[in-house]
Amino acid sequence: MPILEVENLSVSFKKYTRGFKQTKSTVITSLDVTVEAGEILAVVGASGSGKSLLAHAILGILPSNAITSGVIKYGGEELTPARQSVLSGKELALIPQSVNYLDPLMRVGSQVRTSVKKENAIAAQREVFQRYHLNAGVEKMYPFQLSGGMARRTLLATAMVSGARVIIADEPTPGLDSVVIVEALNHLKESAVNGCAVMLITHDIESALQVADRIAVFYAGTTVEISPVEHFNGNGEQLRHPYSKALWRALPQNDFIPIKGSQPRPSQLPSGCLFAPRCEMATPDCEQERPAMRNLRNGMVRCIHAT
Protein backbone atom coordinates (compact mmCIF):
# COMPACT_ATOMS: atom_id res chain seq x y z
CA MET A 1 0.00 0.00 0.00
CA PRO A 2 1.30 3.49 -0.75
CA ILE A 3 2.29 5.54 2.33
CA LEU A 4 1.51 8.78 0.55
CA GLU A 5 -1.46 9.25 -1.78
CA VAL A 6 -2.47 12.42 -3.57
CA GLU A 7 -5.88 12.20 -5.24
CA ASN A 8 -7.39 14.77 -7.56
CA LEU A 9 -5.48 17.65 -5.96
CA SER A 10 -6.14 21.14 -7.29
CA VAL A 11 -4.60 24.35 -5.98
CA SER A 12 -5.47 27.84 -7.13
CA PHE A 13 -4.83 31.41 -6.10
CA LYS A 14 -7.21 34.32 -6.36
CA LYS A 15 -5.64 37.54 -7.46
CA TYR A 16 -7.00 41.05 -7.55
CA THR A 17 -5.94 43.05 -10.56
CA ARG A 18 -6.58 46.69 -11.40
CA GLY A 19 -10.15 47.81 -10.83
CA PHE A 20 -10.66 45.09 -8.19
CA LYS A 21 -11.20 42.51 -10.90
CA GLN A 22 -10.63 39.06 -9.55
CA THR A 23 -8.72 36.47 -11.56
CA LYS A 24 -8.11 32.88 -10.62
CA SER A 25 -4.89 31.12 -11.44
CA THR A 26 -4.88 27.36 -11.19
CA VAL A 27 -1.41 26.12 -10.39
CA ILE A 28 -2.25 22.45 -9.75
CA THR A 29 -5.07 20.70 -11.64
CA SER A 30 -6.52 17.28 -10.68
CA LEU A 31 -3.13 15.88 -9.79
CA ASP A 32 -2.80 12.21 -8.79
CA VAL A 33 0.34 10.57 -7.47
CA THR A 34 1.35 7.94 -4.90
CA VAL A 35 4.61 7.05 -3.19
CA GLU A 36 5.17 3.56 -1.78
CA ALA A 37 7.29 2.57 1.19
CA GLY A 38 10.74 1.55 -0.05
CA GLU A 39 10.72 3.51 -3.27
CA ILE A 40 12.08 6.72 -4.70
CA LEU A 41 9.59 8.49 -6.91
CA ALA A 42 11.30 11.21 -8.92
CA VAL A 43 9.21 14.18 -10.00
CA VAL A 44 10.38 15.99 -13.14
CA GLY A 45 8.85 18.73 -15.26
CA ALA A 46 9.38 22.27 -16.43
CA SER A 47 9.84 25.20 -14.09
CA GLY A 48 6.45 26.37 -12.86
CA SER A 49 4.76 22.98 -13.36
CA GLY A 50 3.71 22.82 -9.70
CA LYS A 51 6.37 20.55 -8.19
CA SER A 52 7.19 22.71 -5.16
CA LEU A 53 3.55 23.57 -4.56
CA LEU A 54 2.74 19.85 -4.42
CA ALA A 55 5.47 19.46 -1.75
CA HIS A 56 4.03 22.42 0.16
CA ALA A 57 0.49 21.03 -0.09
CA ILE A 58 1.65 17.72 1.39
CA LEU A 59 3.41 19.45 4.30
CA GLY A 60 0.54 21.90 4.81
CA ILE A 61 2.64 25.01 4.17
CA LEU A 62 0.88 26.55 1.17
CA PRO A 63 0.35 30.32 1.40
CA SER A 64 -2.86 31.21 3.23
CA ASN A 65 -4.54 32.56 0.08
CA ALA A 66 -4.29 29.17 -1.69
CA ILE A 67 -7.57 27.37 -2.36
CA THR A 68 -7.21 23.59 -2.47
CA SER A 69 -9.45 20.63 -3.24
CA GLY A 70 -8.82 16.90 -3.42
CA VAL A 71 -7.40 14.52 -0.83
CA ILE A 72 -3.90 13.83 0.47
CA LYS A 73 -3.51 10.67 2.56
CA TYR A 74 -0.68 9.48 4.75
CA GLY A 75 -0.79 5.85 5.92
CA GLY A 76 -4.25 5.46 4.41
CA GLU A 77 -5.74 8.31 6.44
CA GLU A 78 -6.45 11.83 5.30
CA LEU A 79 -3.70 14.33 6.09
CA THR A 80 -5.75 17.02 7.75
CA PRO A 81 -4.12 20.31 8.80
CA ALA A 82 -4.05 19.00 12.38
CA ARG A 83 -2.21 15.83 11.34
CA GLN A 84 0.14 17.82 9.11
CA SER A 85 1.23 20.00 12.01
CA VAL A 86 1.80 16.97 14.27
CA LEU A 87 3.66 14.91 11.66
CA SER A 88 5.76 17.59 9.92
CA GLY A 89 9.44 17.27 10.70
CA LYS A 90 8.77 13.96 12.47
CA GLU A 91 7.17 11.49 10.07
CA LEU A 92 7.06 13.82 7.08
CA ALA A 93 10.27 15.64 6.24
CA LEU A 94 10.84 18.29 3.59
CA ILE A 95 14.18 19.28 2.14
CA PRO A 96 13.02 22.67 0.83
CA GLN A 97 14.11 24.15 -2.48
CA SER A 98 15.00 27.44 -0.81
CA VAL A 99 17.68 27.74 1.88
CA ASN A 100 15.58 30.52 3.45
CA TYR A 101 13.75 27.81 5.40
CA LEU A 102 16.57 27.69 7.96
CA ASP A 103 15.75 29.55 11.18
CA PRO A 104 17.93 32.69 11.03
CA LEU A 105 18.07 33.06 14.80
CA MET A 106 19.17 29.57 15.76
CA ARG A 107 22.63 28.01 15.53
CA VAL A 108 22.56 25.35 12.83
CA GLY A 109 23.71 22.52 15.15
CA SER A 110 20.74 23.16 17.45
CA GLN A 111 18.36 23.30 14.45
CA VAL A 112 19.49 19.92 13.27
CA ARG A 113 19.30 18.44 16.78
CA THR A 114 15.66 19.49 17.21
CA SER A 115 14.67 17.10 14.45
CA VAL A 116 16.48 14.07 15.95
CA LYS A 117 14.18 11.50 17.55
CA LYS A 118 16.91 9.26 18.93
CA GLU A 119 18.30 9.74 22.43
CA ASN A 120 21.71 11.15 21.68
CA ALA A 121 20.84 14.10 19.49
CA ILE A 122 24.33 15.63 19.64
CA ALA A 123 25.99 12.43 18.44
CA ALA A 124 23.43 12.04 15.66
CA GLN A 125 23.92 15.65 14.53
CA ARG A 126 27.73 15.33 14.53
CA GLU A 127 27.57 12.09 12.59
CA VAL A 128 25.32 13.55 9.90
CA PHE A 129 27.46 16.71 9.68
CA GLN A 130 30.49 14.53 9.00
CA ARG A 131 28.60 12.70 6.33
CA TYR A 132 27.77 16.01 4.61
CA HIS A 133 31.33 17.35 4.99
CA LEU A 134 30.29 20.07 7.44
CA ASN A 135 33.26 20.55 9.75
CA ALA A 136 33.09 20.70 13.54
CA GLY A 137 32.93 24.51 13.70
CA VAL A 138 29.75 24.70 11.61
CA GLU A 139 27.35 23.57 14.34
CA LYS A 140 27.96 26.83 16.24
CA MET A 141 27.27 29.04 13.21
CA TYR A 142 24.11 30.94 12.34
CA PRO A 143 22.55 30.50 8.88
CA PHE A 144 23.83 33.90 7.65
CA GLN A 145 27.39 32.68 8.21
CA LEU A 146 26.94 29.70 5.87
CA SER A 147 27.70 29.59 2.17
CA GLY A 148 24.80 28.54 -0.08
CA GLY A 149 26.25 25.03 -0.37
CA MET A 150 26.69 24.68 3.41
CA ALA A 151 23.11 25.85 3.99
CA ARG A 152 21.85 23.26 1.52
CA ARG A 153 23.89 20.52 3.18
CA THR A 154 22.43 21.59 6.54
CA LEU A 155 18.90 21.24 5.14
CA LEU A 156 19.76 17.77 3.81
CA ALA A 157 21.26 16.81 7.18
CA THR A 158 18.15 18.03 9.05
CA ALA A 159 15.78 15.90 7.00
CA MET A 160 18.03 12.87 6.97
CA VAL A 161 18.46 12.65 10.77
CA SER A 162 14.73 13.06 11.39
CA GLY A 163 13.90 9.38 10.90
CA ALA A 164 10.86 10.45 8.86
CA ARG A 165 8.91 7.82 6.93
CA VAL A 166 8.24 10.18 4.05
CA ILE A 167 11.04 12.39 2.72
CA ILE A 168 10.23 15.03 0.14
CA ALA A 169 13.42 16.40 -1.38
CA ASP A 170 12.69 19.52 -3.45
CA GLU A 171 15.74 20.13 -5.67
CA PRO A 172 18.14 19.10 -2.91
CA THR A 173 21.42 19.26 -4.82
CA PRO A 174 21.90 22.42 -6.95
CA GLY A 175 25.22 24.12 -6.35
CA LEU A 176 26.70 21.16 -4.47
CA ASP A 177 29.90 19.50 -5.60
CA SER A 178 29.66 16.09 -7.18
CA VAL A 179 30.95 14.22 -4.10
CA VAL A 180 28.17 15.66 -1.93
CA ILE A 181 25.55 15.06 -4.65
CA VAL A 182 26.50 11.38 -4.76
CA GLU A 183 26.44 11.25 -0.94
CA ALA A 184 22.97 12.84 -0.81
CA LEU A 185 21.54 10.55 -3.50
CA ASN A 186 23.03 7.49 -1.79
CA HIS A 187 21.55 8.64 1.49
CA LEU A 188 18.07 8.99 -0.08
CA LYS A 189 18.45 5.53 -1.63
CA GLU A 190 19.52 4.09 1.73
CA SER A 191 16.44 5.63 3.37
CA ALA A 192 14.21 4.07 0.73
CA VAL A 193 15.88 0.67 1.13
CA ASN A 194 15.17 1.00 4.87
CA GLY A 195 11.47 1.50 4.15
CA CYS A 196 11.02 5.24 3.66
CA ALA A 197 8.93 6.69 0.86
CA VAL A 198 11.04 9.29 -0.96
CA MET A 199 9.78 11.91 -3.40
CA LEU A 200 12.73 13.46 -5.23
CA ILE A 201 11.80 16.63 -7.11
CA THR A 202 14.57 17.44 -9.56
CA HIS A 203 15.57 19.10 -12.82
CA ASP A 204 18.46 16.69 -12.96
CA ILE A 205 17.06 13.76 -14.94
CA GLU A 206 20.48 12.05 -14.85
CA SER A 207 20.32 11.86 -11.02
CA ALA A 208 16.70 10.76 -11.17
CA LEU A 209 17.63 7.93 -13.51
CA GLN A 210 20.36 6.75 -11.17
CA VAL A 211 18.30 6.43 -8.01
CA ALA A 212 14.57 6.50 -8.78
CA ASP A 213 12.26 3.53 -9.11
CA ARG A 214 9.50 5.46 -10.86
CA ILE A 215 9.37 8.86 -12.50
CA ALA A 216 6.37 11.20 -12.47
CA VAL A 217 6.31 13.80 -15.24
CA PHE A 218 4.55 17.09 -14.44
CA TYR A 219 3.14 19.52 -16.97
CA ALA A 220 1.23 22.73 -16.22
CA GLY A 221 0.30 21.59 -12.72
CA THR A 222 -0.64 17.99 -13.29
CA THR A 223 0.88 14.54 -13.66
CA VAL A 224 0.88 13.57 -17.32
CA GLU A 225 2.72 10.30 -16.84
CA ILE A 226 4.09 7.99 -14.16
CA SER A 227 6.52 5.42 -15.50
CA PRO A 228 9.01 2.86 -14.22
CA VAL A 229 12.50 4.35 -14.54
CA GLU A 230 13.59 1.70 -17.10
CA HIS A 231 11.18 3.13 -19.65
CA PHE A 232 13.26 6.32 -19.86
CA ASN A 233 15.50 4.76 -22.44
CA GLY A 234 16.44 4.81 -26.13
CA ASN A 235 14.26 7.21 -28.09
CA GLY A 236 11.61 7.19 -25.38
CA GLU A 237 9.49 4.70 -27.34
CA GLN A 238 8.41 2.98 -24.11
CA LEU A 239 7.12 6.24 -22.62
CA ARG A 240 3.40 6.92 -22.80
CA HIS A 241 2.70 10.64 -22.97
CA PRO A 242 3.72 12.86 -25.92
CA TYR A 243 5.12 15.42 -23.45
CA SER A 244 7.31 12.88 -21.63
CA LYS A 245 8.63 11.64 -24.96
CA ALA A 246 9.35 15.21 -26.05
CA LEU A 247 11.00 16.03 -22.71
CA TRP A 248 13.19 12.95 -23.04
CA ARG A 249 14.20 13.78 -26.60
CA ALA A 250 14.99 17.38 -25.61
CA LEU A 251 17.80 16.25 -23.28
CA PRO A 252 21.32 17.14 -24.44
CA GLN A 253 22.37 13.48 -24.37
CA ASN A 254 19.50 12.61 -26.70
CA ASP A 255 18.55 14.54 -29.81
CA PHE A 256 18.29 17.91 -28.04
CA ILE A 257 15.13 18.73 -30.04
CA PRO A 258 13.19 21.42 -28.18
CA ILE A 259 9.39 21.31 -28.04
CA LYS A 260 7.58 24.12 -29.84
CA GLY A 261 5.45 26.51 -27.80
CA SER A 262 5.39 26.97 -24.05
CA GLN A 263 3.59 25.73 -20.95
CA PRO A 264 0.22 27.53 -20.52
CA ARG A 265 0.02 30.20 -17.84
CA PRO A 266 -1.92 29.25 -14.69
CA SER A 267 -4.46 32.00 -15.42
CA GLN A 268 -5.05 30.81 -18.99
CA LEU A 269 -5.31 27.05 -18.91
CA PRO A 270 -6.91 25.34 -21.92
CA SER A 271 -10.27 23.75 -21.13
CA GLY A 272 -9.37 20.26 -22.36
CA CYS A 273 -6.07 18.41 -22.18
CA LEU A 274 -3.47 20.85 -20.84
CA PHE A 275 -0.88 19.71 -23.39
CA ALA A 276 -3.22 19.70 -26.42
CA PRO A 277 -2.19 23.13 -27.78
CA ARG A 278 1.39 21.86 -28.24
CA CYS A 279 0.63 18.24 -29.06
CA GLU A 280 1.19 16.78 -32.51
CA MET A 281 -1.31 14.01 -31.75
CA ALA A 282 -4.10 16.34 -30.64
CA THR A 283 -7.57 15.87 -32.14
CA PRO A 284 -10.79 17.83 -31.44
CA ASP A 285 -11.63 15.23 -28.74
CA CYS A 286 -8.61 16.39 -26.73
CA GLU A 287 -10.14 19.84 -26.37
CA GLN A 288 -13.43 18.49 -25.03
CA GLU A 289 -12.42 17.54 -21.51
CA ARG A 290 -9.46 16.98 -19.22
CA PRO A 291 -8.27 13.40 -19.68
CA ALA A 292 -8.24 11.22 -16.55
CA MET A 293 -5.13 9.36 -15.43
CA ARG A 294 -5.31 5.74 -16.61
CA ASN A 295 -3.18 2.63 -16.27
CA LEU A 296 -1.08 1.72 -19.27
CA ARG A 297 1.80 -0.75 -19.62
CA ASN A 298 2.86 -0.88 -15.96
CA GLY A 299 2.58 2.90 -15.64
CA MET A 300 -0.01 5.65 -15.86
CA VAL A 301 -0.84 8.28 -18.45
CA ARG A 302 -3.20 11.22 -18.86
CA CYS A 303 -3.81 11.13 -22.63
CA ILE A 304 -6.69 9.64 -24.61
CA HIS A 305 -4.42 8.70 -27.54
CA ALA A 306 -1.56 7.04 -25.67
CA THR A 307 -1.02 3.37 -26.47
* Least Å from the CB of residue 53 to ligand ATP: 4
Applying CB under 5 A, what is the total number of residues that bind Ni ion? 3
* Least Å from the CB of residue 50 to ligand ATP: 4
**Angle formed by the axes of helices 178-193 and 148-160, nearest 10°:** 10
Residues 239-258 that bind Ni ion (CB under 5 A): none
Interaction between residue 27 and ligand ATP (CB under 6 A): yes
Residues 91-110 that bind ligand ATP (CB under 6 A): 97
Alpha helices, DSSP H, located in the chain:
51-59, 81-87, 108-114, 121-131, 148-160, 178-193, 205-211, 242-249
Least Cα distance to 293 among 26, 28, 31 occurs for 31
**Burial environment of residue 283 by CB neighbours within 10 A (0 to 12, 13 to 18, 19 or more):** exposed
Q: Are 246 and 217 in contact (CB under 8 A)?
A: no
**CA of 149: how far to CAs of 47, 95, 143, in Å?**
21, 14, 11
* The entry of Ni ion, ligand ATP, none that residue 231 binds, CB within 5 to 8 Å by partner kind: none
Applying CB under 6 A, what is the total number of residues that bind ligand ATP? 13
Interaction between residue 52 and Ni ion (CB under 5 A): yes
Interaction between residue 49 and Ni ion (CB under 5 A): no
Rounded to whole angstroms, how far apart are CA atoms 301 and 47?
A: 20
Complex with ligand ATP: residue 27 or 246, whichever CB lies closer: 27
Residue 15: in which H helix or E strand, if any?
A: strand 2-16
Distance of CA 88 to the CA centre of its chain: 16
* The entry of ligand ATP, Ni ion, none that residue 48 binds, CB within 5 to 8 Å by partner kind: ligand ATP
Q: Show the binding pattern over residues 38-67: x = contacts ligand ATP (CB under 6 A), - = does not.
A: ---------xxxxxxx---------x----
> Among the candidate windows 35-43, 51-59, 78-86, 121-129, which touches Ni ion by CB under 5 A?
51-59
Rounded to whole angstroms, how far apart are CA atoms 248 and 50?
A: 19
> Among the candidate windows 26-34, 81-89, 95-103, 212-220, which touches Ni ion by CB under 5 A?
95-103
Binding site for ligand ATP (CB under 6 A): 13, 25, 27, 47-53, 63, 97, 266
Binding site for Ni ion (CB under 5 A): 51-52, 97
